Structure 1
Amino acid sequence: MHKIVAILGSPHINGNGAFALDCILKGAKEKGAIFLKYELSKINIKNCLGCRKCVENGGVCVLKDDFTEIFENIKTADTVIISSPIYINQVNGYTKTFLDRCYPLTDKYHKPRFGKRNVIMLCTYGAPIPFIFSKYIRNTGKSLKAMGLVNNRNIIIHGCTTIDKVKNDVKLQSKLISIGKNI
């Protein structure tokens, strides 16, 4: 059975990123996948200290918070979906903190410590220009490779000037469900 860990970085748990993520998960569930969904704005994840103790401790972080559960589930996942709004040309603070805390997935040689898993980056933003942040999103995905998080798909939804853009776009919902079915 395909296991998905879904990360919602947006504080808008009923917003565009959340609804888009739910559409993907709906499609995946229809094909028999199981998933765990984490809403970062609702849980306690401390900022990475940059102490590198995780490198020395076999991937165990010195910080004790809600990230420990997420981390353990990522290690056994087939796919990780990271949904984040783009704020000021990059993922928002919740998502950045999450990404920083994924560092224990790499070893001292910057190789994946726990194997590889597929990553889908799902990003929403308000600018009406398609693909304006695609280079940034692509580079963010590439930076995860050393951790074994292989970015194999980016989903970019632009023009999210209202919180219900995705809810009102049936064609987009259908596309997202189809993506979920093909994970």
Structure 2
Amino acid sequence: MKIIGFSASPRKEGNTAWIINKILEGAKEQGAETSAFSFSDLDIKPCRGCWACHKGDQGCVIKDDMQKIYDALEDADAIVFGSPVYMGQMSAQGKIFTDRLFARFSPRFSPFFKENAVKQKLILSFNQGNPDSSLFQVYFDYTRHMFEVLEFDVKEVPVVTGMRNEPAHEREDLHTVMKDIGSALVSEPFQE
């Protein structure tokens, strides 16, 4: 099983990256092949809304590091997408990433979309400073639904709270919880 992690944080070694890496660590311990991308290491431009990706078979016409992501996603069985919560929603980097998925994962428009394909598993991970995990629940539910419409099999949406007080890597409770999410991702069957 191949699992791709994507950190949609401007901070290369922040809470989001740590959480994704812990989830991937749990998956790797169960035999998964893992790799991770950090938005801070990539040059990914926003979608232009030109629709060129849906008018032929050339895919996205923006030639930047998103091409690496498209290639990695092509072979991935699962994705771990993580974002800090900024202003009640995913980061700007996360939005750029999800907008650029339009070139490949838009079932109504994309020439790359495959009917009856096995859905890729997805873990959506959010982390926030506020200790109230329900504060942005409407947004988390919306985002889950968006990915389900794009034909992902969303397995879990962990929300790590209280990041203002203590970094994720110092919270003993998170080490096991995040690794268990990765482990479960490998052991759960695929949804057709």
Instruction: Give TM-score scaled by structure 1 length.
Output: 0.91
Alignment map for 1:28-47 (pairs within 5 Å): 28-47=27-46
How many residues align structurally?
A: 181
In structure 2, the CA distance between the partners of 1:108 and 1:21, relative to structure 1 (3 Å rule), is closer
1:127 alignment partner in structure 2: 130
Alignment map for 1:1-183 (pairs within 5 Å): 2-58=1-57, 60-107=59-106, 109-110=108-109, 113-114=113-114, 115=117, 116-162=119-165, 164-183=166-185
State the shift of 1:53 in Å: 1.1
Deviations 1:112-150 (CA, angstroms, capped at 9, x unpaired): 804321111000011121221122112112112343323
Indicate if the aligned counterparts of 2:44 and 2:66 stay in contact, CA closer than 8 A.
Answer: yes
Unaligned 5+ segments in structure 2 are 186-192
Which residue identity is paired with 2:52? Answer: K
Q: Distance in 2 between matches of 1:107 and 1:130?
A: 30
Q: Distance in 1 between matches of 2:33 and 2:97?
A: 22
Indicate if the aligned counterparts of 1:141 and 1:150 stay in contact, CA closer than 8 A.
Answer: no
Indicate if the aligned counterparts of 1:110 and 1:147 stay in contact, CA closer than 8 A.
Answer: no
State the shift of 1:59 in Å: 6.4
Which residue identity is paired with 1:172? Answer: L
Deviations 1:16-54 (CA, angstroms, capped at 9, x unpaired): 111111111111111110112010012100110111111
Indicate if the aligned counterparts of 1:84 and 1:122 stay in contact, CA closer than 8 A.
Answer: yes
Give RMSD over aligned pairs. Answer: 1.8
Deviations 1:67-92 (CA, angstroms, capped at 9, x unpaired): 01101211221111111001001100
State the shift of 1:151 in Å: 1.9
In structure 2, the CA distance between the partners of 1:150 and 1:105, relative to structure 1 (3 Å rule), is farther
2:188 alignment partner in structure 1: none
Q: Percent identity of the aligned residues?
A: 27
In structure 2, the CA distance between the partners of 1:23 and 1:86, relative to structure 1 (3 Å rule), is same
Q: Distance in 2 between matches of 1:171 and 1:108?
A: 39
State the shift of 1:110 in Å: 4.8
Which residue identity is paired with 2:105? Answer: T
State the shift of 1:97 in Å: 0.2
Instruction: Give TM-score scaled by structure 2 length.
Output: 0.87
Indicate if the aligned counterparts of 2:2 and 2:78 stay in contact, CA closer than 8 A.
Answer: yes
Q: Distance in 2 between matches of 1:59 and 1:151?
A: 28
In structure 2, the CA distance between the partners of 1:58 and 1:153, relative to structure 1 (3 Å rule), is farther
Partner SS state of residue 46, structure 2: coil
Unaligned 5+ segments in structure 1 are none
